[in-house]
Amino acid sequence: MASNEKNTATSQKSPMGWISIILIIIGLAAFIYGVVGDHPEKAWQAYLINFLLWSAIAQGAVLFSAVMHMTKARWSGPLSALAESFAAFFPLSFVLFLILFLGRTHIFPWLHEDLHGKEVWLNIPFLFTRDGIGLLILYAIGFAYLYNALQLRADEFQNQGGFRQMIYKGWIRNNRSTEQVKKKMTTWAALYILAFTLVLSLIGYDLVMSMDPHWISTLFGGYSFVKAFYVGLGALIILAAITQIRKGKESGLKPSHFHDIGKLFFAFCLLWADFFYVQLTVIWYGNIPEETYYVIERTVMVPWSKLAWTIFIVCFIIPFVILINKKIKSKPGFMVILCSVIIIGFWFEHLLLLAPALSHGAHSLSLNISDGLITAGFFGLMVIAVSSFLKRFPGFSRTTEAGSPG
């Protein structure tokens, strides 16, 4: 009887699920309307921004679990399992990347430019092949890590369907002890961290920096993946806080968890700002016109300068001042607001990096409602992915670790 109830409960969509589906439909409608309308490049710009942002969130959050495992950290507790749930967005992210191919004429301003020898690297077939393979490798490693992580609690999945049954069978077949599974996890975690830095650098160069094909910054890749970890941690804190608020003590999340991950979040806030500053200083000292125009266009010229300052204040100054305080870091409700604001800030940060190149000579930010609606659609996708994962693999039961079978 109890199991029956449970089954009906999982098969029914919660109100949150319905809202997400509605958001996805609205976002899709706004996107299609934009693409067939007069300004398809605006719709594709919003699509690219959202693809980059939400993929970075998923990749960065999974990185948290990998890093915690690699460093043998104990403080993360149930946070690691929650972080792994973001891997559910990986397949979606890959499909979204493939769809980007349809909008190639709108999102690559260098297509009809003379690239002075750079066309060897910047051409559509090579770009999509290498980025596609890169993402595929990153996501495959992510899933391999996740598969092993889930084997640690495979005995819970014995009489379940689908993926859980597969994991259970794999666990029985391999007959590995907890130690062996953990060793496997370590290998995959190390590979994931390596792939994360390389692939996110590549994506950063190809899909963001190449928009201004004559501008180069060697640090741009590093900047991209530090940023991805920063937003990934922000999203993880939001998920943890919502879990804590909804489930209370059952979630196993204590104020100390929020305090600790808040400190890590604070550290990456500083590191992100540091990577930005390090790039800026070098460009400032060199004072070479090919390099400086990129910064000047975005931080001094209208209409972008105000946006640039807003982003700097929202993504660095405000979190810096607020996160000095210890008590605030352990207040889930407040952290949801702060992290949401920072993630919205990073939406605009992507806009600042992309839009000046995509719309030369713009006099205003020219954002409209469809940008918001497309973003809402992506948000819906993320919520669906994470919540359906957590429904199948409730994160907080990780604390009881399984022994070896038989």
Report d(CA 273, CA 349) in Å as an integer: 12
The secondary structure of residue 206, as a DSSP letter, is I
Burial 32-68 (b: 16+ CB within 10 A, else e): eebbeeeeebbbbbbbbbbbbbbbbbbbbbbbbbbbb
Taking the complex as a whole, the smallest distance from the CB of residue 280 to other proteins amounts, in Å, to 6
Stretch that binds other proteins, among 52-60, 80-88, 275-283, 393-401 (CB under 8 A): 275-283
Contacts (CB under 8 A) with other proteins, residues 324-353: 324
Spatial contact of 49 and 208, defined as CB atoms under 8 Å apart: no
Q: Does 101 bind other proteins (CB under 8 A)?
A: no
Nearer to other proteins, 16 or 280 (CB): 280
Stretch that binds other proteins, among 104-112, 121-129, 136-144, 280-288 (CB under 8 A): 280-288
Among 281, 366, 368, 399, contact with other proteins (rule: CB under 8 A): 281
Nearer to other proteins, 280 or 337 (CB): 280
- At 150, list the tokens: 């889930």
Stretch that binds other proteins, among 67-75, 205-213, 284-292, 390-398 (CB under 8 A): 284-292
Nearer to other proteins, 133 or 280 (CB): 280
Interface mask toward other proteins for 285-314; x: CB under 8 A? x-x---------------------------
List the one residue out of 188, 202, 285, 237 whose CA is nearest residue 60.
Answer: 237
Among 16, 98, 280, 362, contact with other proteins (rule: CB under 8 A): 280
Taking the complex as a whole, the smallest distance from the CB of residue 279 to other proteins amounts, in Å, to 11
Stretch that binds other proteins, among 1-9, 176-184, 279-287, 335-343 (CB under 8 A): 279-287
Taking the complex as a whole, the smallest distance from the CB of residue 274 to other proteins amounts, in Å, to 10
Report d(CA 158, CA 155) in Å as an integer: 6
Nearer to other proteins, 101 or 277 (CB): 277
Q: Does 256 bind other proteins (CB under 8 A)?
A: no
Q: Does 277 bind other proteins (CB under 8 A)?
A: yes
Taking the complex as a whole, the smallest distance from the CB of residue 291 to other proteins amounts, in Å, to 14
Whether the link from the prior residue into 109 is cis, omega within 30° of 0, is no
Report d(CA 352, CA 369) in Å as an integer: 18
Report d(CA 202, CA 221) in Å as an integer: 7
Among 18, 75, 284, 309, contact with other proteins (rule: CB under 8 A): 284
Nearer to other proteins, 18 or 284 (CB): 284
Spatial contact of 275 and 226, defined as CB atoms under 8 Å apart: yes
Report d(CA 383, CA 394) in Å as an integer: 15
Taking the complex as a whole, the smallest distance from the CB of residue 288 to other proteins amounts, in Å, to 10
Helices 289-299 and 304-312: crossing angle in degrees, nearest 10, is 80
Whether the link from the prior residue into 40 is cis, omega within 30° of 0, is no
List the one residue out of 58, 81, 86 whose CA is nearest residue 68.
Answer: 81
Nearer to other proteins, 167 or 283 (CB): 283
Q: Please provide the DSSP assignment of 281-323 as one string.
A: HHHHHH--HHHHHHHHHHHTSTTHHHHHHHHHIIIIIHHHHHH
Kindly list the residues in this chain that would bind other proteins in the complex (CB under 8 A): 277, 280-281, 284-285, 287, 324
